[in-house]
Amino acid sequence: MNKSKKAEIRMQNFEETFRYGNVDVMKLTIKYPVVKLQNNPDAQAMINNQIAIEVNEYHRHVSDFLYNQAVNDYREAQENNYPFHGYEAYMEYVITYNDNCFLSYYYDKYEYTGGAHGMTLRSSNTFELCRGTMIPLYCFFKKGLNYRRKLIFEIIKQADERLKEEPGIFFDDYESLIIKNFDEDNYFLSPDGLSIYYQHYDIAPYSTGIVVFTIPYKTIGWYPSC
Protein backbone atom coordinates (compact mmCIF):
# COMPACT_ATOMS: atom_id res chain seq x y z
CA MET A 1 0.00 0.00 0.00
CA ASN A 2 1.34 3.42 -0.92
CA LYS A 3 1.79 5.59 2.12
CA SER A 4 1.30 9.34 2.24
CA LYS A 5 3.40 10.76 5.02
CA LYS A 6 2.04 14.27 4.53
CA ALA A 7 -0.91 15.80 2.71
CA GLU A 8 -0.81 18.72 0.32
CA ILE A 9 -3.29 21.34 1.52
CA ARG A 10 -4.92 24.04 -0.59
CA MET A 11 -7.24 26.45 1.21
CA GLN A 12 -10.45 27.53 -0.50
CA ASN A 13 -12.62 30.55 0.30
CA PHE A 14 -16.39 30.70 -0.14
CA GLU A 15 -18.53 33.77 0.50
CA GLU A 16 -22.27 34.33 0.19
CA THR A 17 -24.52 37.24 1.07
CA PHE A 18 -28.14 36.51 1.99
CA ARG A 19 -30.71 39.13 1.16
CA TYR A 20 -34.29 39.79 2.17
CA GLY A 21 -35.87 42.04 -0.41
CA ASN A 22 -33.14 44.56 -1.14
CA VAL A 23 -31.52 44.31 2.29
CA ASP A 24 -28.40 42.30 3.18
CA VAL A 25 -29.41 40.42 6.31
CA MET A 26 -26.54 37.95 6.63
CA LYS A 27 -23.04 37.23 5.34
CA LEU A 28 -21.48 33.79 5.26
CA THR A 29 -17.75 33.06 4.90
CA ILE A 30 -16.26 29.56 4.79
CA LYS A 31 -12.53 28.85 4.59
CA TYR A 32 -11.86 25.16 4.11
CA PRO A 33 -9.02 22.88 2.98
CA VAL A 34 -8.81 20.67 -0.08
CA VAL A 35 -6.52 17.71 0.57
CA LYS A 36 -4.28 16.03 -2.00
CA LEU A 37 -2.49 12.73 -1.31
CA GLN A 38 0.06 11.57 -3.86
CA ASN A 39 -0.70 8.07 -5.19
CA ASN A 40 -3.55 7.58 -2.73
CA PRO A 41 -6.79 8.72 -4.39
CA ASP A 42 -9.07 6.60 -2.20
CA ALA A 43 -7.83 8.10 1.08
CA GLN A 44 -7.83 11.55 -0.51
CA ALA A 45 -11.46 11.16 -1.53
CA MET A 46 -12.51 9.95 1.93
CA ILE A 47 -10.94 12.95 3.68
CA ASN A 48 -12.25 15.50 1.20
CA ASN A 49 -15.71 13.92 1.35
CA GLN A 50 -15.75 14.30 5.13
CA ILE A 51 -14.77 17.96 4.86
CA ALA A 52 -17.45 18.47 2.20
CA ILE A 53 -20.07 16.93 4.51
CA GLU A 54 -19.09 19.32 7.31
CA VAL A 55 -19.13 22.37 5.02
CA ASN A 56 -22.43 21.42 3.37
CA GLU A 57 -24.12 20.74 6.71
CA TYR A 58 -23.10 24.16 7.97
CA HIS A 59 -24.22 25.84 4.74
CA ARG A 60 -27.63 24.20 5.09
CA HIS A 61 -27.86 25.34 8.71
CA VAL A 62 -27.04 28.93 7.73
CA SER A 63 -29.25 28.95 4.62
CA ASP A 64 -32.26 27.57 6.46
CA PHE A 65 -32.33 28.13 10.23
CA LEU A 66 -30.03 31.12 10.59
CA TYR A 67 -31.41 32.94 7.55
CA ASN A 68 -35.01 32.58 8.78
CA GLN A 69 -33.93 33.86 12.19
CA ALA A 70 -32.22 36.86 10.58
CA VAL A 71 -35.32 37.66 8.50
CA ASN A 72 -37.57 37.45 11.57
CA ASP A 73 -35.26 39.76 13.50
CA TYR A 74 -35.18 42.21 10.60
CA ARG A 75 -38.99 42.26 10.36
CA GLU A 76 -39.29 42.80 14.09
CA ALA A 77 -36.77 45.64 13.94
CA GLN A 78 -38.75 47.28 11.15
CA GLU A 79 -42.03 46.91 12.98
CA ASN A 80 -40.64 48.37 16.19
CA ASN A 81 -38.49 51.04 14.54
CA TYR A 82 -35.14 50.01 15.97
CA PRO A 83 -31.88 49.26 14.16
CA PHE A 84 -31.15 45.85 12.70
CA HIS A 85 -27.64 44.48 12.93
CA GLY A 86 -26.83 42.12 10.09
CA TYR A 87 -25.98 38.53 10.95
CA GLU A 88 -22.56 37.03 10.32
CA ALA A 89 -21.63 33.36 9.97
CA TYR A 90 -18.02 32.31 9.67
CA MET A 91 -16.52 28.84 9.37
CA GLU A 92 -12.75 28.39 9.29
CA TYR A 93 -10.53 25.32 9.29
CA VAL A 94 -7.13 25.22 10.99
CA ILE A 95 -4.68 22.41 10.21
CA THR A 96 -3.04 21.49 13.52
CA TYR A 97 -0.95 18.50 12.45
CA ASN A 98 0.09 17.19 9.03
CA ASP A 99 3.00 14.75 9.21
CA ASN A 100 3.99 11.15 9.97
CA CYS A 101 0.91 9.77 8.15
CA PHE A 102 -1.57 11.77 10.28
CA LEU A 103 -3.70 14.79 9.46
CA SER A 104 -5.55 16.68 12.18
CA TYR A 105 -7.64 19.83 12.09
CA TYR A 106 -10.27 21.80 13.92
CA TYR A 107 -12.90 24.09 12.48
CA ASP A 108 -14.60 26.96 14.26
CA LYS A 109 -18.14 28.07 13.46
CA TYR A 110 -18.68 31.65 14.59
CA GLU A 111 -22.10 33.29 14.50
CA TYR A 112 -23.05 36.85 15.30
CA THR A 113 -26.79 37.35 15.65
CA GLY A 114 -26.97 40.89 16.95
CA GLY A 115 -26.18 40.40 20.63
CA ALA A 116 -23.33 41.74 22.73
CA HIS A 117 -20.93 39.29 21.10
CA GLY A 118 -20.92 36.32 18.77
CA MET A 119 -20.52 32.66 19.71
CA THR A 120 -17.98 30.13 18.45
CA LEU A 121 -18.41 26.36 18.40
CA ARG A 122 -15.34 24.20 17.71
CA SER A 123 -15.26 20.75 16.11
CA SER A 124 -12.33 18.62 14.97
CA ASN A 125 -11.18 15.50 13.16
CA THR A 126 -8.03 13.39 12.92
CA PHE A 127 -7.24 11.09 10.00
CA GLU A 128 -4.78 8.31 9.35
CA LEU A 129 -3.51 9.21 5.88
CA CYS A 130 -2.76 5.75 4.54
CA ARG A 131 -6.41 4.68 4.61
CA GLY A 132 -8.17 8.02 5.05
CA THR A 133 -9.98 6.82 8.16
CA MET A 134 -10.97 9.00 11.11
CA ILE A 135 -9.28 8.06 14.39
CA PRO A 136 -11.25 8.08 17.67
CA LEU A 137 -9.50 9.14 20.85
CA TYR A 138 -9.22 5.67 22.41
CA CYS A 139 -6.94 4.49 19.58
CA PHE A 140 -4.02 6.46 21.03
CA PHE A 141 -3.94 4.43 24.24
CA LYS A 142 -3.22 0.86 25.25
CA LYS A 143 -6.25 -1.39 25.42
CA GLY A 144 -7.70 -1.54 28.94
CA LEU A 145 -6.15 1.74 30.07
CA ASN A 146 -8.51 4.22 31.73
CA TYR A 147 -7.35 6.95 29.33
CA ARG A 148 -10.22 9.23 30.25
CA ARG A 149 -9.07 9.37 33.88
CA LYS A 150 -5.45 9.84 32.77
CA LEU A 151 -6.33 12.78 30.50
CA ILE A 152 -8.60 14.46 33.04
CA PHE A 153 -5.85 14.18 35.67
CA GLU A 154 -3.38 15.93 33.33
CA ILE A 155 -5.94 18.58 32.35
CA ILE A 156 -6.75 19.47 35.96
CA LYS A 157 -3.04 19.66 36.75
CA GLN A 158 -2.51 22.11 33.86
CA ALA A 159 -5.59 24.11 34.85
CA ASP A 160 -4.27 24.46 38.40
CA GLU A 161 -0.99 25.85 37.06
CA ARG A 162 -2.73 28.31 34.74
CA LEU A 163 -4.94 29.54 37.54
CA LYS A 164 -1.87 30.43 39.60
CA GLU A 165 -0.64 32.64 36.75
CA GLU A 166 -4.05 34.07 35.80
CA PRO A 167 -6.51 34.05 38.71
CA GLY A 168 -10.14 34.12 37.65
CA ILE A 169 -9.74 32.65 34.16
CA PHE A 170 -11.86 29.60 35.10
CA PHE A 171 -15.15 29.18 36.95
CA ASP A 172 -14.77 28.42 40.66
CA ASP A 173 -15.94 24.82 40.16
CA TYR A 174 -13.66 24.26 37.16
CA GLU A 175 -12.42 20.87 38.41
CA SER A 176 -15.88 19.31 38.44
CA LEU A 177 -16.71 21.04 35.15
CA ILE A 178 -13.57 19.61 33.52
CA ILE A 179 -14.83 16.15 34.44
CA LYS A 180 -18.47 16.81 33.54
CA ASN A 181 -17.82 18.46 30.17
CA PHE A 182 -14.99 16.22 28.97
CA ASP A 183 -15.90 15.21 25.40
CA GLU A 184 -13.92 12.51 23.58
CA ASP A 185 -14.70 14.14 20.24
CA ASN A 186 -13.09 17.42 21.31
CA TYR A 187 -9.47 16.68 20.50
CA PHE A 188 -6.87 17.22 17.79
CA LEU A 189 -3.21 16.41 17.30
CA SER A 190 -0.58 19.14 17.46
CA PRO A 191 3.22 19.07 17.12
CA ASP A 192 3.61 19.00 20.91
CA GLY A 193 0.97 16.46 21.85
CA LEU A 194 -2.70 15.59 21.98
CA SER A 195 -4.85 18.68 22.54
CA ILE A 196 -8.17 18.53 24.38
CA TYR A 197 -10.44 21.56 24.16
CA TYR A 198 -13.47 22.87 26.03
CA GLN A 199 -16.14 25.04 24.42
CA HIS A 200 -17.16 28.52 25.53
CA TYR A 201 -18.69 28.42 29.03
CA ASP A 202 -17.77 24.73 29.59
CA ILE A 203 -15.22 25.55 32.30
CA ALA A 204 -14.61 29.29 31.96
CA PRO A 205 -16.32 32.62 31.27
CA TYR A 206 -16.68 33.88 27.70
CA SER A 207 -13.69 36.20 28.05
CA THR A 208 -11.37 33.21 28.51
CA GLY A 209 -12.43 31.76 25.17
CA ILE A 210 -12.19 28.15 24.04
CA VAL A 211 -9.74 26.49 26.41
CA VAL A 212 -7.12 24.07 25.04
CA PHE A 213 -4.97 21.68 27.07
CA THR A 214 -2.12 19.88 25.30
CA ILE A 215 -0.95 16.58 26.78
CA PRO A 216 2.62 15.76 25.62
CA TYR A 217 3.03 12.60 23.55
CA LYS A 218 5.58 11.37 26.08
CA THR A 219 2.90 11.49 28.79
CA ILE A 220 0.45 9.61 26.58
CA GLY A 221 3.00 6.99 25.56
CA TRP A 222 2.21 7.32 21.84
CA TYR A 223 3.79 9.27 19.00
CA PRO A 224 2.52 9.92 15.46
CA SER A 225 4.39 7.63 13.05
CA CYS A 226 3.86 5.84 9.76
Q: 10-61, pLDDT tens digit by residue?
A: 999 999 999 998 999 999 999 999 999 998 999 999 999 999 999 999 999 9
Residue 115 has pLDDT above 80, yes or no: no
Task: Indicate the DSSP class of residue 114.
Answer: S
Give the pLDDT mean for 85-107: 96
Is the dihedral angle over the CA atoms 35, 40, 46, 47 positive or is it negative? negative
Phi-psi region of 165 (alpha: psi -120 to 50; beta: other; left: phi over 0): alpha
pLDDT of residue 144: 87
Is the pLDDT assigned to residue 194 strictly greater than 60? yes
User: What pLDDT sits at residue 148?
Assistant: 95
Q: Quick check: pTM over 0.85? A: yes
Looking at residue 73, its pLDDT comes to 94
| Higher pLDDT among residues 117 and 19, named by residue | 19
The answer to whether 199 and 121 are in contact (CB under 8 A) is yes
- Residues forming beta bridges with residue 32, ordered by sequence position: 12
Are the CB atoms for 200 and 212 separated by under 8 Å? no
pLDDT at position 226, please?
A: 87
Q: Enter the DSSP assignment of 117.
A: S
Those residues whose C-beta lies under 8 Å from the C-beta of residue 42, and which sit 6 or more positions away, are: 132
Residue 1: pLDDT over 60 = no
Which pLDDT value is given to residue 3?
A: 60
Q: What is the mean pLDDT of the chain?
A: 94
pLDDT digits (tens, 9 = 90+) for 74-85: 999 999 999 999
Report the pLDDT averaged over residues 134-141.
95
Q: In this predicted model, which residue has the larger pLDDT, 226 or 175?
A: 175
